[in-house]
Amino acid sequence: MSNERTIPYKIYLNESEIPTAWYNLRADMKNKPAPLLNPGTLQPMTAEELSGVFCDELVQQELDDTNAYIPIPEEIRNFYKMYRPSPLVRAYCLEEKLQTPAKIYYKFEGNNTSGSHKLNSAIAQAYYAKKQGLKGVTTETGAGQWGTALSMACAYFGLDCLVYMVKVSYEQKPFRREVMRTYGATVTPSPSNTTEVGRKILAEHPGTTGSLGCAISEAVEAEATREGYRYVLGSVLNQVLLHQTVIGLETKAALDKYNIVPDIIIGCAGGGSNLGGLVSPFAGEMLRGERNYRIIAVEPASCPSFTRGVFAYDFCDTGKVCPLAKMYTLGSSFIPSANHAGGLRYHGMSPILSQLYHDGYMEAVSVEQTAVFEAATQFARVEGILPAPESSHAIRVAIDEALKCKETGEEKTIVFGLTGTGYFDMVAYEKFNNHEMSDYIPTDEDLKPGFDGIPKFPGNEF
Amino acid sequence: MSNERTIPYKIYLNESEIPTAWYNLRADMKNKPAPLLNPGTLQPMTAEELSGVFCDELVQQELDDTNAYIPIPEEIRNFYKMYRPSPLVRAYCLEEKLQTPAKIYYKFEGNNTSGSHKLNSAIAQAYYAKKQGLKGVTTETGAGQWGTALSMACAYFGLDCLVYMVKVSYEQKPFRREVMRTYGATVTPSPSNTTEVGRKILAEHPGTTGSLGCAISEAVEAEATREGYRYVLGSVLNQVLLHQTVIGLETKAALDKYNIVPDIIIGCAGGGSNLGGLVSPFAGEMLRGERNYRIIAVEPASCPSFTRGVFAYDFCDTGKVCPLAKMYTLGSSFIPSANHAGGLRYHGMSPILSQLYHDGYMEAVSVEQTAVFEAATQFARVEGILPAPESSHAIRVAIDEALKCKETGEEKTIVFGLTGTGYFDMVAYEKFNNHEMSDYIPTDEDLKPGFDGIPKFPGNEF
């Protein structure tokens, strides 16, 4: 079945085919994602309130749910040209290995030094910060992909970059930290005693190795206490999903070039930025009633926001200093088991994707990590790319769907997002190679404290 | 000067433009590289003698100095399609940063999981081993790029892969080792007690952290004592340079497409495979009297084979079990200072490049490592790629040449080989970031023991 290789291994668009505008899916949503709320007043955050935290143009993008296309500034497109268009790869070797009639494609976002899709939004956010005349930005990073991407973007525009890195990652991934330093960023392990909220968390939980929620709180405080800085975030927010639509727009353009219509579109989901970016143009067709796809979000069984979370207003951070977002959440105090190896550790989920899921436009599945690393290794050996653990969640389900096709004989077309490479995740691979990796599924009892911490107010029943 | 960006950032060839034949530079050389000698008889190695060590078709390629083009088998081209053609990138951002009128291009070979150009030859060598019905191959690796590439190639063809990894690298780069294991390779720190030569070296030099020369000796012995195995090597040999000509052929095709004629071609040189592959088509034009280029080999000041070595027959390995090659050498017992951070640690040099250098077709310069890491960091911050320390030697000299153009106002076109990425070299970057890196230039006294170990026989005066 693999001899008729009329489609190239890698479909590359030309530089001139890099999208000139991001696609704003909210414009086509009948049920718009709920607005961010001020945690004090429970009223929707105004542009003015948000502009103390985010750059002005990013605030506009965050709030805009009517304009379908937002032009991509020339400076950002020029940066995109350094690593985009990214290839859409036909997984011929994987298909042959699986002996499946399915046709598998993946959009590979790992061919840049940050090692992931995160750079697509990092460069946009850095650009608007520079344009606004700011000195620098603050952020948090978990596994380190976002921090690396932002460091690169800030180096390019000459901005200061302060990164709060979840302490357990800071210690286990010194090389990630070092890449950020090479790009000129200042990296602080979180929780730290450089912020009030950090000191408070340290006092309450001595010896904690941190969480993404803690690091967000610290980064927001670091921004608030510095002149000429703004806070930036690598996922969850509407603006981030907007920037990531370059992934989906390029994917669709490449498929269209060869008249390929996918049946199933698969992406891993942590905060939702890669999945949201990949599926936006396809979900838009569904929302406009033009076409149907199966869209599948894949999350770790140890951090199951979609599959076991509730759809409610919740805090985006552990320190509860950020606005409330309506999303699928496990509660802002939820911290995944230390056993969990990869990223995708966020307690919440993009409000846009949460709404789509709630309205039935998406499915979600959770997978256990040993099965994920089995898929990662199988993929690496035939396709030649060592995938990030995060991305490997999507590989797992793509393989599962392809194997179903083998049983049924269906020639389905599967597209998945290969968001990044695993070069800085070799500790996890080593555990897997040594058969020292295990699975962990939280019990209902484990999840209860997280749910108990979700704020209760009228209209926030769950 | 950077506004007229008529040439794309990245020149991508189509899949169909991947070369269908490797170019054998030796066919155009009037002074052929000297043959390998049997160290016992001092007679040229016959095909029969070599076939005990190498696969039969690779032996033919090693000895063939008359056929200008060797067809690339379809199976190898199919694998190349997974990561080739590699982009030829116009370094617009670096040019702007340097404010130079020079036009800088680099051929980027790092966009594959092995992280370097080594995969180009690894897949070829694995293919011929598979075709000959072998069970597996043995090899050595220093910094780990070659071992990783070979592991990937062997996983693809289902071959066993035994890697002897220089002990200091094995210990300092556990993640490199882990990538190889993920691809199913068996990795042994060298010197080890699994071979006779390893035990001998350990007895003579207790506590040694190994060298490439030691690891070669062990890998060759491991091959000789196993049924159905052959030894493979990642550089130096004629066959390896032959496979690496895909780099130069693609580079030339991309330049030709836009009528660009380079003035200067620069590559780093350890064993010479990347440099040889990049420059072969250009050197061919020089040899045929069609055109002239400045070709510059860049090597570390701490391992200066070209700039301070002698042109003589020498052993390729420390254990003196391999044939003798006529090359620029520092002596097979030379081991670079522990202070030296990157690869490019081999005592000798490709016989093909050695002959070209000897005949005046190439220049060579040596650079110190802090200057190399300065260039690496400068490049990373504007071009967005974190380069391997090896590749950064070429970046250093490309920047130096571009700065000369700034002084003279000349609009020279510079092409250099960016052979790989530095994701597994963050210990070295950390040293540099912490200002703990220093330079080391061996004294003549330091080099003397190496030269004393070069065999003396009639015709081998130096």
Selected for mutation to probe chain A from B13, B182, B436 (highest A CB count within 10 Å) is: B182
Q: What average pLDDT is seen over chain B?
A: 95
Q: State the pLDDT at residue A1.
A: 40
Q: How far apart are CA B63 and CA B49, in angstroms?
A: 12
CB pairs under 8 A between A and B: 114
For residues A145 and A118, the answer to whether their CB atoms sit within 8 Å is yes
Residues A43 and A177 in one domain: yes
- Here the CATH number for the domain that contains residue A376 is 3.40.50.1100
Number of domains chain B contains: 2
Nearest residue in B to A109, CA atom: B111
Cβ A323 vs Cβ A303: under 8 Å: no
For the segment B355-372, what is each residue's pLDDT rounded down to a tens digit?
A: 999 999 999 999 999 999
B14, B152, B381 member nearest A384 (Cβ): B152
Partners of B152 on chain A (C-beta within 8 Å) are 384
Helix (H), strand (E) at residue B92: helix B92-98
Is the model's pLDDT at A3 over the cut of 70?
A: no
**Once rounded to an integer, what is the mean pLDDT over residues A125-145?**
96
Mean pLDDT calculated for residue range A66-93: 96
Say whether both A54 and A89 belong to one domain: no
Contacts of B145 in chain A (CB under 8 A): none
pLDDT of residue B335: 84
Are A108 and A86 within 8 A, CB to CB? Answer: yes
Does the beta-carbon distance from A174 to B426 stay under 8 Å? Answer: yes
CA distance B288 to B295: 16
Nearest CA distance, B176 vs chain A (angstrom): 8
Indicate whether A218 and A88 sit together in one domain: no
Residues on chain A bordering chain B, Cβ-to-Cβ distance under 8 angstroms = 8-10, 12, 14-15, 79, 81-83, 89, 93, 111-113, 115, 152, 155-156, 174-175, 178-179, 181-184, 377, 380-386, 421, 423-424, 426-427, 429-430, 433
Give the mutation candidate from A5, A7, A9 for the B interface (greatest B CB count, under 10 A): A9
Query: Which pLDDT score, from 0 to 100, does residue A241 have?
Result: 98
Check whether residue B261 and residue B399 sit in a common domain: yes
Put simply, the answer to whether B179 touches A113 (Cβ < 8 Å) is no
Mean pLDDT of B14-42: 96
Q: Which of chain A's residues have a Cβ under 8 Å away from the Cβ of B175?
A: 175, 423, 426-427
Among A89, A111, A178, select the one facing B430 at the smallest CB separation: A178
For residue B266, name the pLDDT band (cuts at 50, 70, 90).
very high
Same domain, B270 and B357: yes
Tell me, yes or no, whether B312 and B410 share the same domain: yes
Bridging pattern class, strands A69-71 and A229-231: unpaired
**B430 within a domain of the structure (yes/no):** yes
Please, what is the end-to-end C-alpha distance for chain A in angstroms? Answer: 49
Greater model confidence, B330 or A461: B330
Among A37, A72, A119, A403, CA closest to A249: A72
More confident residue, A112 or A337: A112
Closest residue by Cα to residue B105 from B415, B418, B421: B415
Kindly state whether residues A331 and A394 are assigned to the same domain: yes
Q: Which of B196, B152, B147 lies closest to B170 in space, CA to CA?
A: B147
Residues in chain A: 462
The answer to whether the Cβ–Cβ distance between A384 and B83 falls below 8 Å is yes
Residue ending a domain, among A168, A202, A231, is A231
How close, in Å, is residue B338 to chain A by CA atoms? 21
Shared domain check, B137 and B82: no
Distance from the Cα of residue B32 to its chain's centroid = 20
Best mutation site among A426, A431, A432, A436 for testing chain B: the one with the most B CBs within 10 Å?
Answer: A426
Share of chain B above pLDDT 90, in %: 89
Residue at B25 is within a domain: no
pLDDT tens digits, one per residue of B132-170: 999 999 999 988 999 999 999 999 999 999 999 999 889
Residues of chain A neighbouring B424 (CB-CB closer than 8 A):
423
Partner-chain contact B174 A82, CB within 8 Å = no
Contacts of A15 in chain B (CB under 8 A): 8-10
Same domain membership, residue A252 and residue A186: no
Mutation for testing the A interface, residue in B113, B159, B258, B432 having most A CBs under 10 Å:
B113
In this prediction, residues A239-253 reach a mean pLDDT of 98
Strand order in the sheet with B160-166: B186-190, B160-166, B136-141, B229-231
Q: Nearest CA to CA, how far is B35 from chain A (Å)?
A: 35
Band (A384; pLDDT cuts 50, 70, 90): very high
Q: For residues B132 and B138, what is the distance between their CA atoms, to the nearest angstrom?
A: 15
Record: contact B82-A383, CB cut-off 8 A: yes
Which one of A9, A182, A429 has the shortest CB-CB distance to B386? A182
Residue type, A240: V
Nearest by CB to B182, from A156, A182, A433: name it: A433
Tell me if B409 is assigned to some domain. Answer: yes
Model confidence pLDDT, tens digit, residues A170-211: 988 889 999 999 999 999 999 999 999 999 999 998 988 888
**A179–B429 C-beta distance less than 8 A:** yes
Mean pLDDT calculated for residue range B174-192: 96
- Per-residue confidence band for A4, with pLDDT thresholds at 50, 70 and 90: low
* Residue B444, domain extent: 10-20+75-115+238-452
CA distance B147 to B179: 9
DSSP B98-112: HT-S-EEEEEE---S
Q: What is the structure's pLDDT at B4?
A: 62
Reported as a single tens digit per residue, the pLDDT across A252-275 is: 999 999 999 999 999 999 999 999
In a 13 Å sphere around the CA of A443, the CA atoms on its Cβ side amount to 2
Residues of A in contact with B83 (CB under 8 A): 384
Give the DSSP H/E element, type plus range, for residue A188. Answer: strand A186-190
User: Band of the pLDDT at B342, cuts 50, 70, 90?
Assistant: confident
**Tokens read off for A293:** 């796809």
Residue of A294, A284, A275 whose CA lies nearest to A30: A284
Q: Residue range B189-203: average pLDDT? A: 95
> B422 and B374, same structural domain?
yes
Burial class of residue B236, CB neighbours in 10 A (0-12, 13-18, 19+):
buried
Residue range A348-375, pLDDT digits in tens: 999 999 999 999 999 999 999 999 999 9
**Residue A377 clears pLDDT 60, i.e. is over it:** yes
8 Å CB contact of B426 and A377: no
Question: Does the pLDDT value for residue B76 go beyond 90?
Answer: yes
What band does A320 get if pLDDT is binned at 50, 70 and 90? Answer: confident
User: Which of the four pLDDT bands, split at 50, 70 and 90, describes residue B318?
Assistant: confident
pLDDT at B381 (0 to 100): 95
Strand pairing partners for B326?
B313
Contact A423/B423, CB-based, under 8 Å? yes
pLDDT band at B2 (very low <50, low <70, confident <90, very high): very low
Tell me what pLDDT residue B462 has.
86
Instruction: List alpha helices for B225-304, DSSP H.
Output: 238-257, 273-287
Last residue of a domain, one of A231, A266, A283: A231
| Among candidate residues A85, A96, A91, A84, the one with its CA nearest the CA of residue A106 | A91
**Residues A163 and A149: beta-carbon distance below 8 Å:** no
Given a cut of 60, is residue A128 above it in pLDDT?
A: yes
* B interface residues, A as partner, C-beta within 8 Å: 8-10, 12, 14-15, 79, 81-83, 89, 93, 111-113, 115, 152, 155-156, 174-175, 178-179, 181-184, 377, 380-386, 421, 423-424, 426-427, 429-430, 433
Q: How confident is the model at residue A338 (pLDDT cuts 50, 70, 90)?
A: confident
Q: Does the residue B3 lie in any domain? A: no
> Which of A81, A424, A430 is nearest residue B423 as measured by Cβ atoms?
A424
A342 CA: distance to closest CA in chain B (Å): 16
**Domain end: A195, A216, A231, which one?**
A231
Residue B447 lies in a domain: yes
Chain A, nearest residue to B96 by Cα: A156
CA distance A430 to chain B (A): 6
Closest to A28 in 3D by CA, of A320, A281, A343:
A281
Band of pLDDT at residue B3, cut at 50, 70 and 90: very low
Closest by CA to A51, choosing from A175, A134, A157, is A134
Residues contacting residue A392 through CB under 8 Å, at least 6 positions apart: A268, A342, A372, A373, A375, A376, A379, A422
What mean pLDDT do residues B101-127 have?
97
User: Is A436 part of a structural domain of the chain?
Assistant: yes
* Residue burial A200-219, b: 16+ Cβ < 10 Å; e: rest: ebbeeeeeebbbbbbbbbbb
- pLDDT score for A339: 79
User: Do A145 and A292 fall within a single domain?
Assistant: no
| Shortest CA gap B297–chain A (Å) | 26
Non-local CB neighbours of A453 within 8 Å, separated by 6+ positions: A331, A332, A333
**CA B37 and chain centroid, separation:** 22
The whole-angstrom separation of Cα A288 and Cα B186 is 54
- Domain membership flag for residue A27: no
- Specify the pLDDT at position A2: 42
How big is the CA angle at B386 (ends B381 and B390), to the nearest 5 degrees?
125
In this prediction, residues A54-73 reach a mean pLDDT of 97
List CB contacts (< 8 A) between B82 and chain A.
9-10, 89, 93, 383-384
- Specify the 3-state DSSP secondary structure of B329: strand
Report the pLDDT value the prediction gives residue A194, as an integer from 0 to 100.
96
- Together in a domain, A374 and A388: yes
ipTM: 0.92
In B258-298, which residue ranges form alpha helices assigned H by DSSP?
A: 273-287
Percent with pLDDT over 70 in chain A: 99
Residues in A touching B182 (Cβ below 8 Å): 377, 380, 386, 429, 433
